Structure 1
Amino acid sequence: MSELTYDDFKNRVNIQDLLVDAGYQLNRRDGMRYPSYVRIGSDGKRVHGDKFIVTANGLCCFQPPERKNYNVISFIKEHPTFFAEYRPGMSGDRLVNLVCNRILNHPIADRVTRDFEKQRETRPFDINDYETHGFINGNWESQKRFYLYFQHRGINLQTQRAFSDHFFLATRERGDGKKYTNLSFPLSLAAWPGKDVVGLEERSRPNAEGKTAYKGMAVGSNATEGLWIARLENNRSDMGFTRPIGEANDVYWFESAFDAMAYYQIKINEPGNVGYHDLANAVYVSTGGSPTKRQFSSMIEHTPKAVHHLCFDRDRAGRMFAINFALQKDGRVFSSHLTQDKKTLVVTDLTNGLKRHELPLEPFNFRDVCDRLGIDSRGIGYEPCDSRYKDWNDQLLDKPMENEESQTRGIKR
């Protein structure tokens, strides 16, 4: 059967059918001259401001108040997360082909997806490109260089010494001959924790205003699978672990290594809270920003006995990460995204047919959301910071949130 072209799609796929496929419903009570399609929330009511109106020619639609017209091609490309076929990093052209061919019931041959962006990437990360300086317990001279990186984060010497095997300073020379140094948290794979450094979660020294000027991943880092993995008893995250993480009873998840260290410092100083022995035997994990499914699945696979404590940021994105983890641990095939106003989480579950869920994130109760999705959440603890703060480091600094919309995710992947 011959392949269909974009012209075929525009001529054969009805924009109204596409809107219905994307989760919208015909608004029969609108009373307008042209059909309008609205999204219905989990409460059975219209989602305010989420509406598309079909144009006079019936071939396009627009979302008021903007008058930007979308045909079937541009609608799919600019709203990829509306469709079950979407996967992060997928080519827009590939998505258009999959969606339109499915709607037209037109078989499409499987093919190996080629990612041209990855072909243009630089060579893989190599730790030998860096000169490293370690934090050596019992050697004050080695420790002094770390002061400015941790002081503005409120992370004290006791905590630095506890995590000392899991960070270092890494210096690299640029092409112009200048050198730069960052505080670096080594990434490795859950299958081989610490044995091979596959990237670095990096933080620069604070600028004159006391803010971190740079935070991100080192060039060539495997940020899709790599994790900062720290275990505090007799382990080195750049030389291989002496105790396997598979025996761990607890895994604590964070979006930043700083948050993991802040959590430890807060808990170790709280009377009657988690004991030192438990904290020392735990595995601390940083995803270095927005977590990926492969980061989740690999750690879940290699820590079968552990309770997973989800200590992600308290903002809406952090709540989405917690639900994504629960879905992954429960073996679901899914995609998820936040709506444009960031107030609703949309989950498309393909595990047993197509199911679409719209879940308000205000107020948020992790167990209730898991129950609504039918997720077995045993072995998962939802443990964000105090509700006044965005993350654990802000709680350590006693830096309350002003409002969530002003917060930035800030970490480049």
Structure 2
Amino acid sequence: MREGELTYDDFLQRLNIQEVLIDAGYHLNRRDGLRYPSYVRIDSDGRRIRGDKFIVTQQGKCCFQAQQQRVYNIISFIKEHPHFFSEYRVGMSLDRLVNLVCNRLLNHPIEDRTTRIIQPKRDILPFDITNYDLHKFNPQDRATQKKFYPYFKSRGIDLYTQYAFHRHFCLATKHREDGAAYTNLSFPLTLPKGDGTVVGFEERGRARMDGSGSYKGKAEGSNSSEGLWIASPARTPLSEAKHVYWFESAYDAMAYYQLHQKEDKDLRKAVFVSTGGAAGQQQFKSVIEAAPHAIHHLCFDRDRARQVYAINFALTHAGKVFTSKLSKNNMLVIRLINENLQCEMNLEPFDFQLITATLGINPVKEPINKKEVVHDDLDIGDGYLQEMKMTCMDEYEAACAEGASGEELERMRENLSAIEDVIRGYSISGSTFQKCILYEPAADGYKDWNEQLLAKIKLQESAHEEVAREEEPEQERQARFHR
């Protein structure tokens, strides 16, 4: 260690999370008071961006989002939200990013680019699956399935979805030198163009009894820059995939499948990919090269960093050499290196199609016969679909005003989402094209697909309880009332 070089411990002791939030472009939300300070992002018109708020906890050392169970300290916040910081460049080491940001905030000069975070005292060896005891899910053996219950129950992942993906997860137990052992639900990471060798695990722990969340991360030594969870219920090889669905977690991928598999019978043949956290350009490139003819569905979370992932994917798919970062005023700064161009884009409101079209990377395949694009065996055009969408929106607004049930509103949202899906793959400037990239976040109001699944399950449970109460005999209802 060179004299004067700072470590993670120095950063954690000398900085508080509020300084990092402010540097990332967040503003103190005075309406929430100072006992539990909260920080929000502001759009270009000076209005709060809905759903993008962090609450400070643990005496200013950590923060969390109300709709999430993840608690961040200074280090993990920077690593999970790299695009918030001016130092970030696509493909750079996240440890180096932490070093640059924290040293700048502490006004600690960095001599040159060789300055880096000090490596741990012991070297981390490459991932080796033989260091783990594996317990696999057997669809024909109920006894093997029971151990997975606490990992999937809290996420709303049902047994049928577990059957569909059973080849792509396991329980992995690692024994420490002190005799202790720990077990996690593990999703194997492989290389898109590799031979199937497991190069790491995306890991999830049991849900905690107090509801405060659970461990999530990657196994020690995992190849995080290239490795991905690659799964297909029908065992479709990535090279033969017609559709590739992108997520940041295997839980979200399974939730998406559970929500859509009944109406899309071909979903079993699709390939589901999880980056296991921050999505890297090398991961994008490898999958694009391995599945050059696939349609890619970007199902990342709805927050700003994940929207930037979607744009980065489109740039990578278009073969661009680029850097991208979010400025403090929430503008996306993109530099196209080979073209020697730089542009700034306002991401509020976020419109993926408009942004990619503006960048000249709106990705489409060759024009297809318009008669091949049908819905319920009818030859319909984009104008008809747009009219149908407007009608559905009017009906939804009327239903909200009239106090329709939550289940009815959810059904109407699903219908509207289905129409939007068809429109995405339909006409551009009067000609019909098939898009190579579709932006598919969870429905408005949900952070991710797992949150949407849990909300749907809760809604169904409430509806069942209401039906049960209505069917309850009058005498029993009266007796319960008097008790």
Counterpart of 2:147 in structure 1 is 145
Counterpart of 1:123 in structure 2 is 125
| Structure 1: gaps spanning 5 or more residues | 1-42, 47-78, 96-110, 236-242, 400-413
Counterpart of 2:281 in structure 1 is 293
**Correspondences of 1:177-192 after superposition (within 5 Å):** 177-192=179-194
Counterpart of 2:301 in structure 1 is 313
SS at match of 2:193: coil
Counterpart of 1:348 in structure 2 is 335
Distance 1:87-1:229 versus aligned 2 partners, 3 A rule: closer
Instruction: Say whether 1:390 aligns with 2:447.
Output: yes
SS at match of 2:455: coil
**Correspondences of 1:257-296 after superposition (within 5 Å):** 257-269=250-262, 273-274=263-264, 276=265, 278-296=266-284
Q: Provide Cα deviations, 1:42-95, integer angstroms capped at 9, x if missing partner.
A: x9x99xxxxxxxxxxxxxxxxxxxxxxxxxxxxxxxx99657988512969xx9
Counterpart of 1:3 in structure 2 is none
SS at match of 1:397: helix
Instruction: Check the 8 A contact 2:84/2:325 in 1, yes or no.
Output: no
Counterpart of 2:200 in structure 1 is 199
SS at match of 1:364: coil
**Correspondences of 1:7-406 after superposition (within 5 Å):** 82=86, 88-89=92-93, 117=119, 121-192=123-194, 195-233=196-234, 235=235, 243-269=236-262, 273-274=263-264, 276=265, 278-340=266-328, 343-353=330-340, 355-378=341-364, 379-398=436-455
How far residue 361 of structure 1 moved from its aligned partner, in angstroms, is 1.9
Alpha-carbon distance between aligned partners in 2 of 1:184 and 1:389, rounded to the nearest angstrom: 25
2:280 is aligned with what amino acid? Answer: T
Distance 1:145-1:86 versus aligned 2 partners, 3 A rule: closer
Instruction: Check the 8 A contact 1:225/1:295 in 2, yes or no.
Output: yes
Distance 1:244-1:112 versus aligned 2 partners, 3 A rule: farther
Moved more, 208-217 or 127-136: 208-217
How far residue 190 of structure 1 moved from its aligned partner, in angstroms, is 0.1
Instruction: Check the 8 A contact 1:347/1:357 in 2, yes or no.
Output: yes
May I ask how many residue pairs the two structures share in their alignment? Answer: 297
Distance 1:147-1:87 versus aligned 2 partners, 3 A rule: closer
Q: Provide Cα deviations, 1:117-144, integer angstroms capped at 9, x if missing partner.
A: 5997411000000000000001100000
SS at match of 2:320: coil
Instruction: Check the 8 A contact 2:91/2:282 in 1, yes or no.
Output: no
Alpha-carbon distance between aligned partners in 2 of 1:232 and 1:259, rounded to the nearest angstrom: 15
How far residue 244 of structure 1 moved from its aligned partner, in angstroms, is 2.9
1:361 is aligned with what amino acid? Answer: L
1:364 is aligned with what amino acid? Answer: F
| Structure 2: gaps spanning 5 or more residues | 1-43, 47-82, 101-112, 365-435, 457-483
Distance 1:246-1:375 versus aligned 2 partners, 3 A rule: same
Distance 1:85-1:132 versus aligned 2 partners, 3 A rule: closer
Alpha-carbon distance between aligned partners in 2 of 1:85 and 1:141, rounded to the nearest angstrom: 48
Instruction: Check the 8 A contact 1:262/1:392 in 2, yes or no.
Output: yes
Q: Provide Cα deviations, 1:293-327, integer angstroms capped at 9, x if missing partner.
A: 10000000000110000000011111111001000
Instruction: Check the 8 A contact 2:186/2:203 in 1, yes or no.
Output: yes
Alpha-carbon distance between aligned partners in 1 of 2:281 and 2:269, rounded to the nearest angstrom: 25
SS at match of 1:253: strand
Q: Provide Cα deviations, 1:202-236, integer angstroms capped at 9, x if missing partner.
A: 00001112343210000000000000000112x4x
Alpha-carbon distance between aligned partners in 2 of 1:388 and 1:331, rounded to the nearest angstrom: 33
Distance 1:142-1:168 versus aligned 2 partners, 3 A rule: same
TM-score (norm: length of structure 1) = 0.65
Q: Provide Cα deviations, 1:368-389, integer angstroms capped at 9, x if missing partner.
A: 0001111132200111110110
Q: Provide Cα deviations, 1:96-135, integer angstroms capped at 9, x if missing partner.
A: xxxxxxxxxxxxxxx9999985997411000000000000
Instruction: Check the 8 A contact 1:367/1:377 in 2, yes or no.
Output: no
Q: Report the RMSD for the aligned CA atoms in angstroms.
A: 3.3
Alpha-carbon distance between aligned partners in 1 of 2:291 and 2:454, rounded to the nearest angstrom: 32
TM-score (norm: length of structure 2) = 0.56
SS at match of 1:299: helix
Alpha-carbon distance between aligned partners in 2 of 1:119 and 1:251, rounded to the nearest angstrom: 40
SS at match of 1:132: strand
Alpha-carbon distance between aligned partners in 1 of 2:126 and 2:118, rounded to the nearest angstrom: 16
Alpha-carbon distance between aligned partners in 2 of 1:117 and 1:374, rounded to the nearest angstrom: 42
SS at match of 2:349: coil
Counterpart of 2:74 in structure 1 is none
Counterpart of 2:468 in structure 1 is none
2:444 is aligned with what amino acid? Answer: S
Percent of residue pairs bearing the same amino acid type: 49
